Each structure stands twice: as C-alpha cells, then as structure tokens.
Homo-oligomer: A and B are copies of this chain.
Amino acid sequence: MQPSTPIHPLDRATTLTRTDDGAFTGQTDPAYANMVGPFGGVTAAAMLNAILLHPDRLGEPVAFTVNFAAPVADGPYRIVADPVRTNRSTQHWTVTLRQDDGVKATATAVFALRRETWSATESRMPEVPPAQDVPPSRLADTQRAWFDQYETRFIKGTVLNTAVPASERDSVTTLWVRDEPPRPLDIVALTALCDSFAPRVMVRRAEWVPIGTVSVTMYFHADPADLAAQGSRPLLGTARASRFGRGYHDQVAELWSDSGTLLATSHQVVYFKA
C-alpha cells in the first residue's frame, strides 16, 4: 500500500458507489471531458464497472453494447445494472445510466465463465514498427481534455491529414495507444480504449465534422493473463469504416497486445453531419 500514489484519472472517472437500493452512483471527471459531456469510452467503462462491482456477477465480459442516448451532463449520474438472466455458465445484463433529466445511455452485456478450448486467430496483426520507433503525436485540444489521457503513436490515418490527397485517402487508422499516464491494462481500460479511435469520417475527409457515437459493441477475446502480460505498454489499434451515408457510418476495429494477441474487436456506428 502506497498512500502517496495518486489515483489514476481512469480509476477516478469510473469510481462507483453502491447505493442502498442496489444501484450505483458515479461522477463525470474533468480529465475525460469531451466537447459535450465526457468521452463515451469512459461512460462505457463506468457502465461495465457497475456489472464488475455487482455482487451477483458471474464470470467475465464476453460481449458489451452501449447505446449513447443523450449527452451526459457534467456531474453525478446513477447506473442500474440488472442481471436479467443467469444460466449455469452465462449471465445476461441490462444497464441504464440516468441523470436527473432522464436516460443518457443503455447497455447490455453477456458475461460468462470461460474455459480453455480449441483456439485460433484468423485476423492478422498489421505489420508495424515497434511503439518506441513511432513518435508520439499530440492532438491538443482545450475543448477535448480526454485527448490528454491517451498517448497515441500513429502509423497511418491521423485525423485532418490533408497531406494525403483526397483521392488516395481512406478511413483506416493504425496506431499504438495507451493510457496517459501509463496504467496497467485491465478490462475497464480496454473498454475505454475500444472507443478511443477518432471518428473515421474525420480521417477520410481530413476535416472537422460534427459527430457522435450512437452505439458501440465490444467483444472481449483477452483472458486475464493476456491483460496482465500487457501491463502499461501501448496496444496496437486498427480501425476502418465499411460505409458512410445518410448521416451515419460504421467502424470496425481491433485491439492487439504488443506481443500479437487479439485482445478485443469493437464495432460502432457514428452520427455525422457532412
């Protein structure tokens, strides 16, 4: 116990207190402030944490979907996590995050007791230089404090990169990314990282575009040993869009350990105005 070690901003931002009626209360944190309300990845991480902290929880997360219904206002929020079905080795959850003026986010999760089986990885990790050979880039933005909570080292696909002509631009980003300050990886941090990619429309169009993630789904492939082995070193992330149109685009993303283990796949759909 080192009482002098400051709490990591991610732990502070996802701290929950259990209430007498079995719900949880939390509080947005200025470190993860976005344009309007907090960075969605941290909201998702807090909602997952409500399940992790729930006394009835069985096993570990396999699938987690969060729908962002309305902006979370700076201040307190309340999360209700309900184990709607518990089977022998799986458990199904619904989760709701509310503030005084109504529902701000909903989520569902599948948790499971997982055991060893046949295994194989078909996705290929992008061939990239090691993190230490890629300079960190800073996208400082006073309106988006949360940018400062991640160290990013872009290999391909920065936002606003007009150096690549429009005809040759795609939406693919590949980067090394970790919490800043460094923090040992766990499932809460991995959840937030799954949502940390810049919006694909800004990569493809190389311009600021009003956006908002409306739904994100994460599938967790990592086992606890994979997470522990990764420590606080950068993960490799890669993301692309399949289709943009009629105000929305999707994103398909993968997060890899630096030793080549696929830790999570993540999918989302993003509102945009362009």
Which A residues are closer than 8 A to B by beta carbons? Answer: 62-63, 65, 67, 69-70, 84-85, 87, 90, 92, 94, 96, 102-104, 106-110, 112, 114-123, 170-171, 204-205, 214-215, 217, 219, 221, 223, 240-248, 250, 252, 254, 262, 265, 267, 269, 271-274
Inter-chain contact A262/B246, CB cutoff 8 Å: no
Per a CB cutoff under 8 Å, which of B106, B112, B272 touches A92?
A: B106
Q: Which of A87, A121, A267 has the most CB of B within 10 A?
A: A267
Inter-chain contact B217/A267, CB cutoff 8 Å: yes
Inter-chain contact A243/B120, CB cutoff 8 Å: yes
Q: How far is B66's CA from A151's CA once the two chains are assembled, in angstroms?
A: 34
Q: Contacts A94-B106, A122-B241 given: A115-B246 contact, CB under 8 Å? A: yes
- Residues from chain B with Cβ under 8 Å of A221 in the complex: 242-243, 245-246, 248, 250
- Residues from chain B with Cβ under 8 Å of A245 in the complex: 117-121, 221, 223
Q: How many copies does the complex hold?
A: 2
Inter-chain contact B171/A122, CB cutoff 8 Å: yes
Q: Contacts A120-B204, A269-B63 given: A242-B217 contact, CB under 8 Å? A: no
Q: How far is B92's CA from A70's CA once the two chains are assembled, in angstroms?
A: 9
Inter-chain contact B63/A117, CB cutoff 8 Å: no
Per a CB cutoff under 8 Å, which of B103, B110, B114 touches A67?
A: B110
Inter-chain contact A121/B63, CB cutoff 8 Å: no
What's the nearest-Cβ distance from chain B to residue A68, in Å?
A: 8
Q: Contacts A219-B250, A246-B117 given: A63-B96 contact, CB under 8 Å? A: no
What's the nearest-Cβ distance from chain B to residue A119, in Å?
A: 3
What's the nearest-Cβ distance from chain B to residue A200, in Å?
A: 8
Inter-chain contact A96/B84, CB cutoff 8 Å: yes
